[in-house]
Amino acid sequence: MVASVNAAGIPYAVLPFDETSNRKRSGFSDYGSGEAEYDVNLICVNADQLPVFVRFAGTAFLRDRYSIGYWFWEVEDFPAEMAASAELVDEVWVASRHAADSIGRSVDVPVFCCPLPVLAPPPPKLTRSDLGLPEGFLFAFTFDFNSVLERKNPLAAIEAFSRAFEPGEGPKLLVKTINGDLHPDRRDLLAGAARSRPDVLIVDRYFSAQEQRALSNVCDAVISLHRSEGFGLTIAEAMAFGKPAIATAYSGNLEFMDERNSYLVPYELTEIPPGCEPYPAGSRWAEPDVAAAAELMRHVVDEPDEAAEKGRRAAEDIRELHSPERRAALVTERLEAVEGKRPFGVAAARAAALIAPPRTPARAYLDVPPVVSRRPSIRAVQQLVLRLIRSYTRHQRTMDEALVADLDALRDELKRLEASQRGLLRRIATLEGRAASGGEE
């Protein structure tokens, strides 16, 4: 998004928010002015973490500014507790029409589709040998265990590959993952699916940004049999390098994939089972046709000239339709529309009611200074006593502050629950209205 704003010639400042569990080792240097001196905020923090950000930045960060949340979501139903975060922004931007449909039904602020630009820098000079990868035709699939294994659906990719090729036939499948150590049961499930196939390679470790780009460049094709995607950036980045892509014909990846520039796998919509949080059980996502995917994998290997042509079209489409320069027009158009919404600061007022902790009696107690006598002899005794019990009073103050913080957090959580309830009631009212008008829901 920085690249899009930069391409539009709009002055900007980037303020990092690092209160996350991510590794945070990727290099980044384009901070613009680096100061919060502009009156529009584009907050690239997802809905579930937005309250954390507002507490971190303070509601003053929203005051006299127009705040836009840039959110991702992958399935049809947007949870009420996430929808409640719309109270903290003036509008929401999303990376795909798929996400816009879901979020737009659940929030009371405007929602606009502004897909991510796809950056296509020159490919790194790293080779397969540098990455520890074998020679021969290589399919690649990458995902983060934190992104929910059931949604990313690597088991289907392994099954399709196993149907398409006999062991030792030549082609190989690389499943590149991270954070398997945080999900040992899912990691073991993935390892078990590949146990009988030495031509399925699982690599669970972080790559640098350069190594990740190199992987997209040195593989022969990418596959993603996801059940849902908010956008599908890893697919798009491989397509930017001219790689033929096989993917489920559903959700956010359709922003940049079509029958002309890629291989789309048919699917059926199915209910999300329990245990796939944060995705709500009973909502829907896609079940890709594994047999059809296997045929496409076979086809890409058997028809290399056609596959190369698909890859050429993919790179051309990414370059011409999804560059920062193309996104700059969307950003400029939206920011010009925002100008007509002054005065700014509506979200700040809502956020102050939901997030900002008022001065509580307990917190006021913490600020009461010790009583000091005006008589020198008594004051000296008081100071001596205070020195003697200093370690105790420090410990007591630490405990008091922790108690106050817990009370503040409890109050904030109660307000969040109230906001979630309001969002849920709005959703119920919408569904009841559809039902009354004869809709299927």
pLDDT tens digit sequence for 395-434: 676 777 677 667 767 776 776 676 666 556 656 765 666 6
Enter the tokens of residue 45: 């923090």
pLDDT at 359 exceeding the cut of 50: no
> What is the model's pLDDT at position 415?
64
Task: Please name every residue paired with 144 in a beta bridge, in sequence order, or none if there are none.
Answer: 178
pTM: 0.78
- Measured between alpha carbons, how far is 282 from 423 in angstroms, rounded to an integer? 19
What is the side-by-side strand order in the sheet with 40-43?
A: 40-43, 66-71, 91-94, 111-113
Query: How is residue 78 written in tokens?
Result: 């947007």
What does the alpha-carbon distance between residue 346 and residue 348 come to, in Å, rounded to a whole number? 5
Write out pLDDT tens, residues 222-268. 999 999 999 999 999 999 999 999 999 999 999 999 999 999 999 99
Please say whether the beta carbons of 263 and 284 come within 8 A: no
Q: Which string of DSSP letters, residue by residue, matches 173-190?
A: EEEEEE-GGG-HHHHHHH
Query: What pLDDT does residue 3 have?
Result: 94
- 121 or 365, greater pLDDT: 121
Best CA proximity match to 236, nearest among 103, 327, 161, 330: 327
Q: Peptide bond before 343: cis, by omega within 30 degrees of 0?
A: yes
Tell me how far apart the alpha carbons of residues 111 and 68 are, in angstroms, rounded to a whole number.
Answer: 10
What are the b/e assignments for 158-184, b being 16+ CB within 10 Å?
bbbbbebbeeeeebbbbbbbbbbeebe
pLDDT at 370 over 50: no
